[in-house]
Structure 1
Amino acid sequence: MTDSSDQIRALVPTTLARHISRRGFLTGLAAAGAIPALAACGGSSGSSGSSGQPSASSGPASSGPAQLGSSLSVYTWGAYDNPKTFTNFTGALGPKVSISSYDSNPEMIAKLVSAKGTSGYDIVVPTGPYVPQMAANHLLMELDHAKLPNLKNYDPAYLDKPWDRGNKYSVPKDWGSTGFVYDTTKITRPMKTWNDFLAAAQNEASGQTSVLDDPDEFVGLYFFAHDMSWTTTNQSDLKKCQAFLVDKLAPHIKKFDAYPGSGGGMPKGEYTLMQAWNGDARQGFLAVKNASQYKWVLPGPASHLWIDNWSIAAGAPHPDAAHAFINYVLDPGHSLLEIEFIGYNTAIVGTEAKAKAAGLKYLDMIYFTKAQVAELQSGAVNSATQTHVSILNAAKAAAAG
Structure 2
Amino acid sequence: MDQPDHVRALVPAALKTSLSRRAFLGGTAALGAGALLAACSSSSGGGGKGSAGLNIYTWGEYDDPAVLTDFTAAKGPKLTVDSYGSNPEMIAKLSAAKGTTGYDICVPTHSYVKQMASSGLLAELDHTKLPNMKNLSPKVVDTTFDPGNKYSVCKDWGSTGYVYDTTVIKRELTSWADFLDAAQKEASGSMSLLEDQGEVSFTYFYANGIPENTTDPAHIAAYRSFIIDKIAPHVQAFESSTNASISSSARTLIHCWNGDARLGILANSDPNRYKWVWPSEGANLWQDNWAILKGAPHEDAAYDFINYVLDPTVSLKELTYIGYNTGIVGIEEAATKAGIKRPDLVFINDAIMSKLTYSEMTSAEGTIIGIYDELKAAAGK
What TM-score comes out, normalization by structure 1 length? 0.82
Q: Residue 53 of structure 1 is aligned with which of 21, 45, 48? A: 45
Q: Distance in 2 between matches of 1:105 and 1:364?
A: 28
SS at match of 2:247: coil
Contact 1:50 1:101 (8 Å CA) reproduced: no
Q: Residue 217 of structure 1 is aligned with which of 171, 193, 199? A: 199
SS at match of 1:172: strand
Does residue 255 of structure 2 align to residue 257 of structure 1? no
**Offset of residue 206 of structure 1:** 2.0
Does residue 172 of structure 2 align to residue 190 of structure 1? yes
Q: Residue 130 of structure 2 is aligned with which of 123, 129, 148? A: 148
Does residue 88 of structure 2 align to residue 106 of structure 1? yes
Contact 1:352 1:367 (8 Å CA) reproduced: yes
**Offset of residue 325 of structure 1:** 0.7
Aligned residue number for residue 278 of structure 2: 298
The structure-2 alpha-carbon separation of the partners of 1:48 and 1:172, relative to structure 1 and needing over 3 Å to count, comes to farther
* 1:156-167 superposed matches below 5 A: 156-167=138-149
**Offset of residue 17 of structure 1:** 12
Contact 1:48 1:79 (8 Å CA) reproduced: no
Q: Distance in 2 between matches of 1:301 and 1:90?
A: 44
Q: Distance in 1 between matches of 2:220 and 2:241?
A: 26
Q: Distance in 1 between matches of 2:204 and 2:92?
A: 31
| Letter matched to residue 327 of structure 1 | N
Q: Residue 203 of structure 1 is aligned with which of 185, 192, 205? A: 185
Does residue 377 of structure 2 align to residue 397 of structure 1? yes
**Offset of residue 152 of structure 1:** 1.1
Q: Distance in 1 between matches of 2:287 and 2:38?
A: 22
Does residue 99 of structure 2 align to residue 117 of structure 1? yes
Q: Residue 360 of structure 1 is aligned with which of 323, 335, 340? A: 340
**Offset of residue 360 of structure 1:** 1.7
| Letter matched to residue 22 of structure 1 | S
SS at match of 2:93: helix
Contact 1:48 1:78 (8 Å CA) reproduced: no
Aligned residue number for residue 346 of structure 1: 326
**Offset of residue 110 of structure 1:** 2.3
* 1:257-296 superposed matches below 5 A: 257-261=239-243, 264-296=244-276
Contact 2:18 2:241 (8 Å CA) reproduced: no
Aligned residue number for residue 322 of structure 1: 302
Q: Distance in 2 between matches of 1:322 and 1:196?
A: 45
Contact 2:175 2:279 (8 Å CA) reproduced: yes
Q: Distance in 1 between matches of 2:142 and 2:110?
A: 11
Percent of aligned pairs with the same residue?
A: 49
Q: Distance in 2 between matches of 1:101 and 1:190?
A: 38
Q: Distance in 2 between matches of 1:137 and 1:150?
A: 28
Aligned residue number for residue 360 of structure 2: 380
Contact 2:19 2:60 (8 Å CA) reproduced: no
| Letter matched to residue 279 of structure 1 | G
Does residue 168 of structure 2 align to residue 178 of structure 1? no
Contact 1:183 1:272 (8 Å CA) reproduced: yes
SS at match of 1:335: helix
The structure-2 alpha-carbon separation of the partners of 1:153 and 1:50, relative to structure 1 and needing over 3 Å to count, comes to farther
What TM-score comes out, normalization by structure 2 length? 0.86
SS at match of 2:254: strand
SS at match of 2:379: helix
| Letter matched to residue 60 of structure 2 | G
Contact 1:143 1:169 (8 Å CA) reproduced: yes
Q: Distance in 2 between matches of 1:221 and 1:227?
A: 10
The structure-2 alpha-carbon separation of the partners of 1:136 and 1:213, relative to structure 1 and needing over 3 Å to count, comes to closer
SS at match of 1:291: coil
**Offset of residue 244 of structure 1:** 0.7
Q: Distance in 2 between matches of 1:356 and 1:70?
A: 39
Q: Distance in 2 between matches of 1:333 and 1:379?
A: 30
**Offset of residue 323 of structure 1:** 0.9
Aligned residue number for residue 6 of structure 1: none
Give the gaps of 5 or more residues in structure 1: 1-15, 25-46, 56-68
**Offset of residue 231 of structure 1:** 1.8
Aligned residue number for residue 310 of structure 1: 290
Q: Distance in 2 between matches of 1:393 and 1:112?
A: 24
**Offset of residue 176 of structure 1:** 1.0
SS at match of 1:245: helix
Aligned residue number for residue 36 of structure 1: none
| Letter matched to residue 53 of structure 1 | G
Aligned residue number for residue 27 of structure 2: none
